[in-house]
Structure 1
Amino acid sequence: MNQEVMNLFNPQAPAQVFDSIRISLASPEKILSWSFGEIKKPETINYRTFKPERDGLFCARIFGPIKDYECLCGKYKRMKYKGVICEKCGVEVTLSRVRRERMGHIELAAPVAHIWFLKSLPSRIGTLLDMTLKDIERVLYFENYIVTEPGLTALKEHQLLSEEEYMIAVDEYGEDSFTAMIGAEAIHDLLAGMDLEKIAGDLRSELASTTSELKQKKFLKRLKVVENFMESG
């Protein structure tokens, strides 16, 4: 695990002097570097043994032992085995307080939209995609398809289609003539395909040419989000 993160929980770590602090999103690679293992089950405690379920939300193999210097199965006990990883239960013999410090991770089967960027007003996802929150929710909650690549059809990019409209479009244009997606995967693809530098340049041009205060506010709000994402890397 990243030593900088571990030092946050270490009362004996030397104090650090700094002038400023920056908060940014952790990348998937960064999260994996912090993790001690993958959580694969939703279970917590076994109702018979009252011990954490293996690969569950309280897994001792991932987060550490429930008793000081004792593995889960009891094969290794006491401080003389400190640092030993039990070959039977896979639990490291160490202090139980490490359970407060260690992190695990969950591999998502499909993308999900983070509520901070969806619901926080103004919606960052909505501002970036220039879509209303209501329309984004229709896609996320599997009510509507969204056209991500119209091809040579009469459909428009970001156009919402009901299931019936989607099937009619498939019959009319052919399944391979356009791309329409549904759910968080659709929003993920739209965001991944954005050229932020081009969008920022277009917004600056629009700002310079428009005289409408309402449009200026809208363009400025979107430009700020775009620039923030560009700066965050």
Structure 2
Amino acid sequence: SRSVEQAEIRSQRSGIVRYKELHSVTNVAGFEVVMNRNAEITVVDDQDVNRERFSVPYGAEVRVADGARVEPGTVIADWDAFAIPIVAEAPGRIKYGDVIEGDTMQERVDQVTGKVSRVIIHATTAKHSSPRISLKDGRGRTIKLRDVEHEARYPLPVGSIISVDEGAEVTAGTVVAKIPRETTKTKDITGGLPRVAELFEVRKPKEQAIVTEIDGRISFGKELKGKRRVVVTPETGEQREYLVPKAKHVTVHEGDYVKAGDALMDGSILPNDILRIKGEEELAQFLVDEIQEVYRLQGVKINDKHIETIVRQMLKRVRITDPGDTKFMLDQLTEKWMFYDENRRVMDEGMQPASAEPQLLGVTKASLSTDSFISAASFQETTKV
């Protein structure tokens, strides 16, 4: 069975609505459309104490005003569960760029409704490699937004469906294109179980997401060889640049604040990235959550401890980064208890201990590389053991 994605936020308590880090534009219907990815809405009581907090996704329509009083069950915001919208931030006239039928765009007819939809496809020639929609003013110039540097230009990733005609006049908050969400494909059991195997075996996912290694604000640099340059600028320290292929959907927007380990584009996050950036505890939590999500959607109840036991075995080894005065060698893989025992022995003798970084091994590799020959044998030759 397919999962029905959550597509609205309802208040559970009565209270006053407060917007937090929420940037929006007002659409034709008079609702606020969220334009950033880390927006939050809280419900506070009369003493201004937080009672509820909700994360609101980009493109959601907010149904209640900031400061309005809500009762239990009130719909605060809703959004399309099956598609990520690309929303116009200002009024203007639609102009296509590099949207060429048969090259970067294909017209598809829905067999049921007879509607024609324009879908972005992989470019067949390098000449038109970056399909986009821009908003023009009366003189045909691209509209400038918020600050002079940022223009109303929206790249269209492969698979996105254009919702507006060229030359059409649109208002702020109009959805100009939609990107079908991957979740609808992968969350049933047939699509979900390979994801579980992928996580347990620590395989590289097919659609791997690029993640930021630092906290900071998002800006976009000059494009480079068919890739978009995403720049993360921290409050102090050096900025980092990441190159995202143009065909992929960048999930962050200019001015968004991101935290280390957040994905910058659509796709599955590599567990090793989380281990490197956020550490062991965050990785263990991530693996448990991702695996449980697949089973929960099928109504299968598994206690977290079973998955945590497997994750512990996957994380029981460390790689030596500096051997110090121990018997270890550089880059040697060793079990944690041996590492701690050896360090204790060396420090008791007043010598330099070793340092190491945690390693994530797939369940098969973890079992085969263990000191227990029974564990190694039973994993692959179960019947003989």
Structures share fold, TM-score greater than 0.5 = no
**Higher share of residues assigned helix:** 1
Q: State the structure with bigger RCO (CA 8 A, min sep 6), 1 or 2.
A: 1
**Higher share of residues assigned strand:** 2
**TM-score, length basis structure 1:** 0.31
**TM-score, length basis structure 2:** 0.22
